[in-house]
Chain A
Amino acid sequence: MKRIVSAALLFTTLVSGSDQIPAPPQSHPILLKGGTLHTVSGDVLKNTDLLFEKGKIIRIERNIRREPDMEVISVRGKHIYPGFIAATTSLGLVEINAVRATRDYAEVGDINPNVRANVSYNPDSELIPVARSNGVLLANVTPLSGIIPGQASLMMLDGWTWEDATLKHPTGLLLNWPNMRIRSGPQIKKSAAEQRKERQKKLQVIDDLFAKARAYAKYHGVNPKPVRYPEGHDLRLESMIPYVNGEKPIFVQANEVQQIEATVHWADRRKVTIIIVGGRDAWRVTDLLKKYNIPVIYQSVLALPTRRFEDYDQAYKTPRLLYEAGVPFCISGTGSSFATANLRNLPYHAAMAASFGLPKEEALRSITLYPAEILGVSDRVGSLEPGKDATFFIADGDPLDIRTQVEQCYIQGKKIDMSDRHKMLYRKYRQKYKQSGRLKPSQH
């Protein structure tokens, strides 16, 4: 039964003849009546109405009275969820990873704190509507290469331009922590001593950079500046001021246990605010993370165990271990540029964590409210609460279950075009088989 209903709904959205059109701003209040509201921040509210206007949620109550200017949509039997937030992705910075011309996530050199993700976010990427169709409505877009790849931006997955689409910039500075392991094996040509030296050099680069940036911040923070001529500028250092001051967070990519430990102690020593990204081994040092209250953007649920002898479900159950230890965390996809096109599967990473012990409501939070908190936007998105952005979607069931269909998305109250490249191609080639009679009418 469910299948027929959802399929019918799906195809109504396929009738559009064009590519997806960014939605206009919300022009009038909309009242969604009688749905099951998964507020995430609070209870699941059955048979409850949701009113939103000018892009914000106004009221969440039972039996909200209908006003004349309101559009009323019955969502009885449907479920409403806050939009999923991809905490790390290169969406918009890459179209086809194998094609060099479409890659914009890796600036040359190791140190690029000044580059900004949102300025090269391609709002017309075909990957965006595909991700959006499954309820992923916000994406923290991150550059990827070198030691300091650049600054990340939180994007709404709709808009005519990158400026329209930016919800917050910057959300933080990326930092790829050097490998702390001494590696060996047939492919490893460098001796342990050489590796230590190399590692030390990289760590020194980071420390030097932060020291320079701190000096730069100090000099430029003095008002009025001492007279000096000529005035020297340094875009890299300039961009690092909020980070060395600890005002804004640094996303530190660290997976292996020694990396994580080193990162945490470095942050404490240098008085900077960090968020661990990756976190494969985070379960091994939960006490440390808890002590310093360091959040983890865990990227590896649908992943193999790191080591041959680890439990087969280690990657699946790590979110539960973080949750039980009280470490603030959220779940992200791998963040690798190869996986960008698979962003729509974000809820299934959370679902796998739920299958291996993370409570279901926590699994849902791990891709909504928790990333919002970690990215510093929980006052605006991440849950269904009056005053927050009307960024949510309507589904016919539990969106962590693959069989569920996401029927309609709203981003800041804008009704999103639910079409995408895949649906369009599907529609096109169904026509082929209709023309040739290879599809039975019941299957049309």
Chain B
Amino acid sequence: MRKRNYSLFLLIISIFSLKGQVAPVKDLHENPPRVWALTNGNVYIEPNKLIKAATIILRDGIIEAVGTDPDIPSDATEIDLNGNTVYAGFIESWLEIPDPDTIRAARDHWNKQVRADRVVFDSYNPDDKDVQQLRELGFTTAHLIPKDGIFRGQSSLAQLTDKPVALKTTVAQVVDFNFGGWGSNAYPNSLLGCIALIRQTFLDADWYTKATAIFSEYPEDNEPVEEDLALDALAKARRQKYPFIFNTSDELYALRAGSITREFGLELWLKGSGYEYRRLNAIKTLNPFIILPVNYPGKPDVSNPYQALQYTTEQLKHWDLAPDNAAKLVAAGIPIAFTSAELKNRSDFRKRLTKSIQRGLSPEIALAALTTVPAEKMGVGHFVGKIQAGYQANLVIVDGDYFNYQDPIRSVWIGGNEYPVKPAPIVDPSGKWELELPETTWRLSFKKSGSRWKGSLEYDSLAFALKDVTVDADRVTWILKTDTLGFAGSTRFTGHLEDSTASGKVFFASGAIESWTGKRIEFHEKTKADTLRPESPSALTVVYPDGAFGLEEPPKKPFAVLVDDATIWTCGPKGILKGWDILFVDGKVKKIARGISVPRGAALIIDGRGKHVTPGLIDAHNHSAAASINEGTQSVTAEVRIRDVLNSDDIAIYRELAGGLTVANVLHGSANTIGGQNAVIKLRWGVKPGDLIFRKAPPGIKFALGENVKQSNWGERYRTRYPQTRMGVEQVLRDAFTAARDYRKNWETYYRDVTLRKTKIPPRKDLELEALVEVLEGKRLVHCHSYRQDEILMLTRVAEDFGFTVGTFQHVLEGYKVADRIADHGAGASTFSDWWAYKFEVIDAIPYNGALMTRVGVTTSFNSDSNELARHLNTEAAKAVKYGGLSEEEALKLVTINPARQLKIDRWVGSLEVGKDADFVIWSDNPLSTYAVCEQTWIDGRLYFSIERDKELRQRDKRIRNELIQKILATGDDGSPAMLPSSDGNSHGYSCYFGDEQATGEGGAR
């Protein structure tokens, strides 16, 4: 028995119920009853609870009852759901709402990117097209997200009704890592600055709360506080424990967000990136709730093998692994919700979701991620997300299975009002019919093919195709070319259909018109949409970092390693030892002697005959493994920190390991006089960013002098930032340190005086000045980019006036002219071996610089400032033998113990002495020889690089690449846009000379 469809009927009346609750009535009151009984539905009352043939009673926007046999109220309009599936209405967990153009007002935060006071619902003016599109995907409710800024504002949860209703006006604070690019002059223009601003703003919000409280109590003792709505809103968000959602673009951003929420004790939510599987365990420990887009990449275009070279292996892997991300997160116990955001075509949402289901994501979990999970997280779990009495009458009605994208959604109900999506047809003509014409009986059959109808006529056991079959509601027309039947021309039919009967007229080619009647002799079995073909999840193993040369697990740490009978360059008091042994136990140097013997099997033994062993090389100036280098908008940015932006995926780490490098001083760039805080890292390939950090290393900061900070080579556009002369650079330094001294004094005064602490507004904690105070107190090392002798001398004087000692002069190419001054001041000098003449201030650079400074008593090192040079610092050191005649032993110290001393990490690394870290390199030859090749690099007693392992990795990656390309070629096109190659994703790295955008190769200047 076919039932008349209910939807069109409802459409008409539902419109009337969408009235405002307070607006005056314009003509007559309209109050149609809003009581419904939806019968005969397969109802998921919760993601894991299905009631078949159930009835749902809705009254005035609320679910009144649900069950197999509830009493149907007498005032209810009954609707037969015909066995359709009913789900609780879905929550779109991330819907960005553009910013209204508001006028900046007095109480706004100084930085336009900080607008935590904005409540998105206040400016929500739904875009009908968006809303319609969301409803068509089954969304009844949306989590509205303010669009622009760093602190974007407060998210809201709203019903997707025509006149929107907020279920909750403030759900969470939304934060984005948003910054202008190089060339933008608004702070921040880098990720570095962005994170610093986020941290400072949290501190400011704390201060603001205290300050306003004290002011209100002691207005006579204090200047009024500048009102700031954003800080107020942030303070409130923290007090009321609102979650903070961070928008992320890859897994490392998730970790960055995590370290911020940890620092400030916030609940972490993430707008995911789809890359979470790459650092699953690390992300899990952050305990986040993740809103996941399903924008899986389309197929990479690998049809042209050369063009395919532009795809990194990591990209190809992501194509295969992305659809498994959600299941991996769920398996790790991380709560997720889905969003259709980030899709190029939002309408692809179900298709993508279906893909994950095919790959093994459980439909129950997927349903929870659309309903109960986001509802609970957003604090509305008690009335949204389930089909239970007392819940919002939000429903999704699907003819089949939502998680098979081919099954149509019939309608959604939002707050007790129905919005049709794809109503079932009034009559489905599919099947066979018998047509009675005055003199003949024909057999017709109809079926739908895609969006078009087809039909055929059987006559004398011959079949003729019908032309132009149209079905319009219950009207049908078609044409029969009657030539073949012996009549010239075309005969046209028109008719009206009921479920089992039909009638109409036929217009013969001759012009004659007759009536016909028909009856259905066979219903066409409802074509079950193609059942989903399960697919296996990607067979690929995630490696760390994912892509080429990543490791499946961290290198093992053998308890003991003995290098037997090698030439050992201790770089310590023992000098160079030929034919000695060195024993490492538990990650430390245990013993250096001749003929060390260990019990059989007690240690990994490396035959050192013909080999040279040196300490791991140390690069005192490096920009690898950092996602951002310069915050160049201001002359002083001491608050920004390289540790916030470490990029453990940088292939430069692996390549530098292969050149014997184990420790790098990753520095901020030289765009401004006082740049950001450095990070000393150990090149532990594969670990997460935070674990790269060499924790024992004292903190440092980058300074810069000369042409770069006065923007001499930046082009005509850059002529206004202070300073533009070396005179101004000195003044910037004196100004900053005077400010730091005042700052420290203010705090001291504040802490000394108990009454003051009660009645006076406290000083504001300033991350920039805190770092400079640490410099004044000798707790933070200054690494200063410098070239000319005048500026080197100048900084030593400024430092002495303020009572601190410069850690290192970096580059310091005219250091040889004032080596006595550098030595007397007590600074180190970290220079290039032989670079010169790339800009005017290095016209007097000479390769004898290193040797001459060493001779005059300066602790000198050679650095790379280049991802390429950092791969052979050993031969850079050899240049001090050639130019200036250092001994080989002295020369190697330029890249081992001397940089260790400069970074104040020489207690642990830089030489092979008992008790120090097992960071060492095995070379095929004298390490100062240009023919020497690094064979093994060990850090903390773990083998991070070896030529043998590298060979295995090459083979593995070659095989993976090839298998992936074959899989891609064998995969059908699913209509999504092709993944674009990352093209220039190769890390050529940064150099001080350039800003973030500029990548440099070997020729890059500093």
Contacts and interface: CB of A to CB of B under 8 A. Distances in A.
A303 B868 contact: yes
Nearest to A430: B852
B436 interface: no
A430 to B, nearest CB: 7
Interface stretch (A151-159, A163-171, A344-352): A344-352
Interface in B214-271: none
A402 B875 contact: yes
Tell me what chain B mostly uses at the interface: helix, strand, loop, or mixed: loop
A182 B871 CA distance: 30
B980 A184 contact: yes
B226 to A, nearest CB: 38
A40 interface: no
A127 B885 CA distance: 22
Contacts, number: 194
Report, as a range, how many residues of chain A touch the other chain.
35 or more
B313 A438 contact: no
10 contacts: A98-B1005, A181-B310, A188-B983, A304-B986, A304-B987, A307-B309, A308-B314, A312-B654, A360-B931, A433-B855
A439 B847 CA distance: 18
Nearest to B657: A312
A402 B930 contact: yes
Contact of A309 (B547, B819, B820, B950): B547
Nearest to A421: B846
Contacts of B817: 429, 432
B261 to A, nearest CB: 27
A406 to B, nearest CB: 10
B487 interface: no
A313 B872 CA distance: 12
A426 B981 CA distance: 50
A439 B312 CA distance: 54
A402 B879 contact: yes
B306 A426 contact: no
Given A334-B1001, A429-B852, A402 B928 contact: yes
Contacts of A99: 839-840
B1006 to A, nearest CB: 10
Contacts of A201: none
A194 B33 CA distance: 60
A271 interface: no
Interface string A424-444: 011001101100101100010
Interface stretch (A76-84, A243-251, A335-343): A335-343
A402 B878 contact: yes
Interface string B749-762: 00000000000000
Interface residues of B, number: 78
A188 to B, nearest CB: 7
Interface in A390-444: 400-405, 421-422, 425-426, 429-430, 432-433, 436, 438-439, 443
B713 interface: yes
Interface stretch (B459-467, B830-838, B906-914): B830-838
A308 B928 CA distance: 28
A257 B306 contact: yes
Q: Lowest 7 A-B CB distances belong to which pairs?
A: A351-B930, A98-B839, A336-B1003, A309-B548, A341-B837, A184-B980, A338-B1003
Interface in B852-866: 852, 855-857
Interface string A290-317: 0000000000101111111101110000
A73 interface: no
Nearest to A354: B931
A433 B884 CA distance: 14
Question: Which of A181, A304, A337, A436 has the largest number of chain B CB atoms within 10 A?
Answer: A304
A308 B547 contact: yes
Nearest to A100: B713
A418 B707 CA distance: 32
A39 interface: no
A97 interface: yes
Nearest to B835: A342
Contacts of A6: 885
Contacts of A405: 882
B346 to A, nearest CB: 22
A339 B932 contact: no
A389 interface: no
B981 A184 contact: yes
Contact of B983 (A98, A183, A352, A401): A183
B887 interface: yes
A95 interface: yes
B988 A400 contact: no
B309 A355 contact: no
Contacts of B931: 351, 354-355, 360, 400-401
B310 A341 contact: no
A198 to B, nearest CB: 16
Contacts of B875: 348, 402
Contact of A98 (B652, B713, B954): B713
B307 interface: yes
A311 B887 CA distance: 34
Contact of A96 (B839, B879, B882, B932): B839
A110 B835 CA distance: 31
B13 interface: no
A210 interface: no
Given A402-B875, A402-B928, A339 B837 contact: no
Contact of B986 (A306, A311, A334, A429): A306
Given A313-B658, A338-B1004, A429-B816, 11 more contacts: A3-B887, A96-B840, A304-B989, A304-B1001, A309-B547, A309-B549, A336-B1003, A400-B931, A425-B816, A429-B817, A433-B820
Question: Which of A339, A400, A425 has the largest number of chain B CB atoms within 10 A?
Answer: A425
A258 interface: yes
Contacts of A126: 837, 843
Interface string B993-1006: 00001000111110
A436 B856 CA distance: 11
Interface string A88-99: 000000011111
Contacts of B839: 96-99
A196 to B, nearest CB: 12
B987 A308 contact: yes
B984 interface: yes
Nearest to A261: B306
Contact of B954 (A308, A311, A345): A311
A182 B308 CA distance: 11
A7 interface: yes
A185 interface: yes
A96 B313 contact: no
Given A185-B983, A304-B988, A312-B658, A338 B1005 contact: yes
B655 interface: yes
Nearest to A257: B306
B837 A127 contact: yes
Contact of A307 (B838, B929, B950, B986): B986
Nearest to B961: A309
B832 to A, nearest CB: 10
Contacts of B707: 98
B985 interface: yes
A216 interface: no
A37 B872 CA distance: 30
Contacts of B730: none
Contacts of A354: 930-931
A182 B856 CA distance: 55
B848 interface: yes
Given A96-B839, A309-B957, A342-B834, A184 B816 contact: no
Contacts of B933: 355-356
Interface string B933-973: 10000000000000000100010010001000000000000
Contacts of B879: 402
A411 B313 CA distance: 50
Contacts of B312: 307-309
B810 to A, nearest CB: 18
Interface in A107-162: 126-127
B651 interface: yes
